[in-house]
């Protein structure tokens, strides 16, 4: 390592150290506070329950009753539902009726919980819809709900909310009442400033609707586009990864014809955020914000024989079968989103949503077990995502999959699981996504291994600065912000803990 230093001029060294100093001051003053670490739990102390937490009844724009919802949910193996009629459609009497109806179907084996959806207007992708769980009333005062007190005006161009601060008010108000807030069908538009607890990374109704639109697109609009719903819903998970010019143009042209205003997905004034980007920034200490994932149906045909209730759901690990335990498990991310496969995942006894603290030099073991949704369905693909990138992939083609993977963790990391299964009897592909598990080591960034984060570590980043995999000076250990490019983000990642020893 020291031989590489000899070829650098003293002036370059001073520049690198100055850059690190500026980064330290910037991060210390503006960005950095210490995140709270969850205490790892023991999976054996928990039981797995399934719920669907987004649907509508005749109290708003659904066509089914609470009784219809519960009957369908039980028939599909759910343990709980959270009914989320639009708060704007509810009177005080109707809310009380909803609460009373739900209480009739809550017992020792099933939970029917009343909630509501705060609904604004944000273009065709409805990006400012928020579910509020565990709030006793949707009314901010005697007559007005949150979206009426703090309006979110209609923006036909879909270039972001016209009053984003009002969405923050919604969340702050719900939190003041002890509530939990979910950003629904966000398509990559969740902002840190909102402060929502959860992101709905899977919305079945949105997927089905956009799939149908994609299939009906004529040739001159770039259609038919197969799986458009999966692609657009995936913007929530992957940001702009799956966007290309043809899809962008098809969306723009279709929305211009259908809504008279063309929508350009992910314009500079409203860039998309991936689910993973929040975890990367949390991991590196750039923000304290840590939103976990849920998946729901957003069913409106709740009274129909083909009701969507329970087709998509969230599996939550709880200690006791109570509403409070369910809400706690949801908020803490002890859960996975699924349309079929069942995920059991821990890292050395740290559960999904938790953080494993490693001692120096210790290894971690990923324990993964996947079960298919039916004897006719095979698990076709299991991806392990590490820090937002594919780390390992398996193709078991079997009804179950199990793996125990030991790994040395050199820097703070998170791992999550993505699963795909195929059922030939139903001719359906099903998906599942785990919430992440975080693994933290004493001090990330000690690239020059002297147990101190100092100028030698900054120098290693400097020597590899601007490089990518395959370049002569590429150093994977210096890619602390794992984007396969050594840049100022990696310098900032070191700067956060500059001067610390362990």
| Least confident range of 40-54, 104-118, 356-370, 417-431 | 40-54
30: its two tokens: 């503006």
- pLDDT in the model for residue 124: 67
User: What average pLDDT does range 325-333 have in this prediction?
Assistant: 98
- pLDDT in the model for residue 33: 27
- pLDDT in the model for residue 360: 60
224 cis-preceded (ω within 30 degrees of 0): yes
pLDDT in tens, 441-463: 867 677 876 767 888 888 999 99
Residue labelled with tokens 């991806």: 383
- pLDDT in the model for residue 6: 40
- pLDDT in the model for residue 2: 34
- pLDDT in the model for residue 12: 41
User: What average pLDDT does range 36-52 have in this prediction?
Assistant: 66
Which of 8-22, 40-54, 264-278, 416-430 has the highest mean predicted lDDT (pLDDT)? 416-430
Instruction: For residue 464, give the 3-state DSSP assignment.
Output: helix
**HSE-up of 12 (CA within 13 Å, CB side)?**
11
Which of 57-71, 159-173, 441-455 has the highest mean predicted lDDT (pLDDT)? 57-71
Which of the pair, 455 or 172, is modelled with greater confidence? Answer: 172
321: its two tokens: 């079968």
| Least confident range of 7-11, 108-112, 295-299 | 7-11
Residue 43 scores a pLDDT above 70:
no
Residue labelled with tokens 């009726």: 97
- pLDDT in the model for residue 361: 67
pLDDT in tens, 264-318: 887 777 788 899 999 999 988 788 899 999 999 999 999 999 999 999 999 999 9
- pLDDT in the model for residue 156: 73
User: What average pLDDT does range 194-208 have in this prediction?
Assistant: 96
333: its two tokens: 């991310």
User: What average pLDDT does range 9-25 have in this prediction?
Assistant: 38
78: its two tokens: 């759910």
- pLDDT in the model for residue 429: 96
> What does the alpha-carbon distance between residue 310 and residue 81 come to, in Å, rounded to a whole number?
9
Which of the pair, 361 or 189, is modelled with greater confidence? Answer: 189
> What does the alpha-carbon distance between residue 493 and residue 502 come to, in Å, rounded to a whole number?
17
28: its two tokens: 């210390």
Which of the pair, 20 or 247, is modelled with greater confidence? Answer: 247
Mention every residue, 6+ apart, whose C-beta is less than 8 A from residue 179: 132, 133, 134, 135
Kindly indicate the confidence band of residue 125, based on its pLDDT and cuts at 50, 70 and 90: low
Residue 328 and residue 233 in contact, taking contact as beta carbons nearer than 8 Å: no
Order of strands, sheet of 350-351, starting from the edge strand that comes earlier in the sequence: 350-351, 342-347, 363-371, 400-408
Q: Which domains does the chain have, with CATH numbers?
A: 2-31+443-495 (no CATH), 43-277 (3.20.20)
Three-state secondary structure readout of 134-170: CCCCCECCCCCEHHHHCCCCCCCCCCCCCCHHHHHHH
| Least confident range of 62-76, 377-391, 466-480 | 466-480
Residue 122 scores a pLDDT above 90:
no
| Least confident range of 6-20, 184-198, 408-422 | 6-20
The burial class, CB within 10 Å (0-12 / 13-18 / 19+), for 163 is middle
- pLDDT in the model for residue 24: 35
Residue percentage of the chain with pLDDT more than 90: 62
Mention every residue, 6+ apart, whose C-beta is less than 8 A from residue 361: none
Q: How many Cβ atoms are within 10 Å of 36's Cβ, its own excluded? A: 9
Which of 102-106, 209-213, 225-229 has the highest mean predicted lDDT (pLDDT)? 102-106
User: What average pLDDT does range 196-200 have in this prediction?
Assistant: 98
User: What average pLDDT does range 166-175 have in this prediction?
Assistant: 98
User: What average pLDDT does range 124-141 have in this prediction?
Assistant: 90
pTM for the full predicted model: 0.80
**Mean pLDDT estimate for the chain:** 86
- pLDDT in the model for residue 8: 37
Q: Pairing relation of β-strands 313-318 and 47-52?
A: antiparallel
Residue 173 and residue 140 in contact, taking contact as beta carbons nearer than 8 Å: yes
Residue labelled with tokens 């031989």: 3
Q: How many Cβ atoms are within 10 Å of 461's Cβ, its own excluded? A: 27
């Amino acid at each position: 390592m020291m031989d590489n230093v000899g070829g650098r001029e003293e002036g370059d060294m001073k520049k690198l150290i100055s850059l690190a100093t500026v980064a330290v001051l910037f991060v210390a003053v503006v960005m950095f506070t210490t995140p709270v670490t969850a205490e790892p739990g023991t999976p054996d102390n928990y039981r797995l329950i399934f719920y669907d937490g987004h649907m509508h009844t005749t109290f708003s724009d659904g066509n089914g009753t609470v009784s219809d919802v519960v009957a369908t949910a039980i028939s599909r193996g759910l343990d709980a539902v959270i009914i989320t009629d639009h708060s704007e459609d509810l009177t005080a009497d109707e809310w009380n009726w909803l609460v009373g109806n739900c209480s009739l179907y809550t017992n020792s084996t099933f939970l029917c919980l009343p909630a509501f959806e705060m609904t604004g207007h944000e273009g065709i992708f409805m990006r400012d819809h928020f579910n509020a769980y565990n709030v006793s009333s949707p009314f901010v005062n005697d007559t007005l709900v949150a979206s009426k007190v703090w309006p979110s005006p209609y923006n036909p161009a879909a270039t972001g909310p016209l009053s984003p601060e009002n969405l923050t008010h919604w969340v702050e108000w719900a939190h003041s009442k002890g509530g939990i807030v979910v950003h629904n069908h966000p398509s990559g538009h969740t902002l840190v400033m909102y402060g929502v607890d959860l992101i709905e990374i899977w919305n079945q109704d949105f997927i089905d609707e956009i799939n149908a639109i994609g299939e009906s697109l004529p040739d001159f609009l770039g259609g038919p586009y197969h799986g458009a719903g999966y692609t657009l819903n995936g913007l929530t998970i992957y940001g702009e990864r799956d966007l290309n010019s043809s899809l962008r143009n098809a969306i723009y042209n279709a929305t211009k014809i259908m809504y008279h205003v063309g929508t350009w997905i992910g314009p500079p004034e409203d860039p998309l955020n991936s689910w993973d980007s929040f975890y990367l920034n949390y991991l590196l200490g750039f923000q304290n914000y840590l939103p976990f994932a849920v998946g729901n149906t957003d069913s409106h045909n709740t009274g129909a024989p083909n009701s969507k209730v329970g087709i998509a759901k969230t599996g939550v690990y709880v200690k006791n079968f109570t509403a409070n335990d369910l809400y706690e498990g949801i908020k803490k991310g002890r859960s996975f989103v699924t349309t079929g496969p069942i995920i059991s995942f821990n890292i050395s006894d740290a559960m999904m949503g938790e953080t494993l603290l490693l001692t120096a030099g210790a290894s971690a073991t990923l324990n993964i077990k996947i079960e298919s949704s039916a004897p006719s369905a095979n698990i076709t693909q299991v991806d392990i995502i590490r820090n937002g990138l594919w780390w390992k992939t398996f193709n078991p083609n079997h009804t179950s999959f199990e793996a125990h993977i030991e790994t040395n963790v050199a820097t703070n990391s998170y791992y999550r699981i993505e699963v795909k299964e195929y059922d030939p009897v139903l001719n359906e592909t099903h998906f599942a996504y785990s919430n992440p598990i975080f693994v933290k080591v004493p001090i990330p960034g000690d690239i020059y291994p002297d147990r101190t984060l100092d100028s030698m570590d900054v120098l290693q980043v400097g020597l590899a600065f601007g490089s990518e995999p395959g370049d002569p000076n590429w150093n994977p250990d210096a890619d602390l912000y794992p984007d396969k490019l050594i840049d100022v983000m990696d310098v900032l990642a070191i700067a956060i803990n500059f001067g610390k020893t362990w």
